[in-house]
Chain A
Amino acid sequence: MSVSTSSTSQVETNPRGIPKAPFVSNVDDYLDGTDSSVESTLNKFQEMIAKYRYMELNVQNRRKGLDEKIPDIAKTLAMVEFLKDRRDRKLGKKAKKDDDDDDLDDDLEDEDDEAADDAPLKTTFELNDTLYAEAEIEESELVYLWLGANVMLAYPLDEAQALLSSKLAGAQQTRANAVEDLEWLREQITVMEVNLARVYNWDVRRRREAKAKGIEGTDEK
Chain B
Amino acid sequence: MRLLNQEDEADESTEVTWEDQQRINTFSKYNQRLQDIEDLLQKKKTEKEYLDDVAMELELADEDEPVMYKIGETIVHIKLSQAQKLLEKEHKSIDEEISGLQNRVEECENGMKELKVLLYAKFGNAINLETNPI
Contact = CB atoms under 8 A, between A and B. Distances in A.
Interface string B1-36: 000001001000000111001001100110011001
Interface string B66-93: 1010011111111101100110000000
A15 to B, nearest CB: 16
Interface residues of B, number: 28
A121 B71 contact: no
* B6, B17, B18, B74 pick with most chain A CB within 10 angstroms: B74
A78 B90 CA distance: 10
Contacts of B85: 106, 109
Contacts of A116: 79
A56 B79 CA distance: 49
A75 interface: yes
Contacts of A117: 79
B29 A187 contact: yes
Contacts of A158: none
A135 to B, nearest CB: 9
A23 B19 CA distance: 10
Contact of A124 (B9, B68, B79): B68
Contact of A123 (B9, B25, B33, B77): B77
Contacts of A179: 36
Interface of B: 6, 9, 16-18, 21, 24-25, 28-29, 32-33, 36, 66, 68, 71-79, 81-82, 85-86
6 contacts: A113-B81, A117-B79, A121-B78, A123-B76, A187-B28, A190-B24
